Amino acid sequence: MKALWSFRNCKGGDLSRLDVILPLFSVIMWGRCHPNHIKVLYVDSDYMTEFEKFNILQFWDEVKLLTSRDDINIKHFWSVSKVEALEQESGPLVHVDGDFIPYTSLESLGIFDGEMGVTLLEEIKNAEHLAYIDSSEAAKFGDMDSDEFEWDDFADQTSLLYLNNDELKNQFIQKYYEYAEVVSNKKIDHHLAYILFIEQKYLRELANSMGVDKRYLIKDGHKVSNTGTLPDIADGTLPIKEAWKRFYHYGPNKGAFVSDLMMAYHMGTYILPIVDNDEVSKIFWHIYASKPFIEKKETLLNRVMKRLNLKNK
């Protein structure tokens, strides 16, 4: 089976050290835990240059270049590289997000036993302030039929996405591109709503409508609105409290490690002891030393808004 990683520089500017360190951590651990998988990397020219610079392309079995594109707003649809990678491959395959780190093999957990496998079931109602908006509204915004599905209150979190149904894969890819192109030509006020809708909510509804055999890594659901837990609601193996002993998905938490001190501490006490390889440790420290943290300058608009907020208090 092929395991895929994909990266585009969707933020613009220089790639951060987290953009390099976490993919390296991910592929090393995936290869160690799943030695029979063929590791395939899809990257744009910016990532290709950085990965070559630090000599980390060696950790993948195949490396493929993504060409530039201007039909989709990649600053908003940053997961487009995932769809591009899926488009080039046939199942069975698994796409691994660059901040998803396994500690042990996931084979015995059943995630690869069906036609589709995902990390986690998310309850998305009352989460407009954080991530998901009303599904009918999100569909309509992208010129989709807002009544295509009944739109339940859940989405499938796809930091790990296993697919062994090419009909589902191909239909999803077509819908993703169509939706992303339409939304990219509009003013986008909600940073997460539309990318999460098409990648995690729409994919769930499409798979359900096709009767796809789907498995979850985690059997408990996650309430996005308040980070609560919904016990035993998914076809998974692991309780959410035990899952992090088998793998870790950084997600939004990676923002805690951007500073020099926190990144050094995290590498020294967590990443490197897990990797446990002196030669590879040198690569990690080289990346760390070569790409110091640069704090973003506060914009004039932000300074003005802060002053206005202080005056109104």
Domain boundaries defined on the chain? 2-312
Q: Which residue in 45, 83, 89 sits closest to 65, CA to CA?
A: 45
Q: Which residues contact 99 (CB under 8 A, 6 or more apart)?
A: 22, 26, 159, 249, 250, 251, 254
Closest CA to 198 of 143, 127, 121: 143
Query: If you average pLDDT over residues 16-22, what whole number do you get?
Result: 94
Count of positions (residues) in the chain: 313
Secondary structure letter of residue 276 according to DSSP: -
Task: Report how far apart, in Å, the C-alpha atoms of 306 and of each of 46, 190, 295, 300, 309 are.
Answer: 35, 21, 18, 10, 5
> What φ, ψ does residue 72 adopt, rounded to 5°?
-130, 140
pTM score, two decimals?
Answer: 0.91
Average pLDDT score, the chain? 91
Parallel, antiparallel or unpaired: strands 62-65 and 93-96: unpaired
User: pLDDT digit string (tens) for 102-126?
Assistant: 999 999 999 999 999 999 999 999 8
Q: Are strands 93-96 and 154-163 parallel, antiparallel or unpaired?
A: antiparallel
Helix residue ranges, H only, 34-162 = 45-53, 80-88, 135-141
pLDDT of residue 308: 46
Q: How confident is the model at residue 297 (pLDDT cuts 50, 70, 90)?
A: low
Tell me: pLDDT of 190 over 90. no
Could you identify the residue written with the tokens 């808004």? Answer: 305
> Does 19 score more than 50 pLDDT?
yes
Would you say 177 and 70 are in contact if contact means Cβ atoms under 8 Å apart? Answer: no
Q: Is the pLDDT of residue 306 over 80?
A: no
Percent of the chain with pLDDT over 90: 80
Return the DSSP state at 251.
G
Number of other residues whose CB lies within 10 A of the CB of residue 157: 23
Please, what CATH class does the domain formed by 2-312 belong to? alpha beta
Tokens (6 digits) for 23: 């993919």
Q: How far apart are CA 71 and CA 80, in angstroms?
A: 11
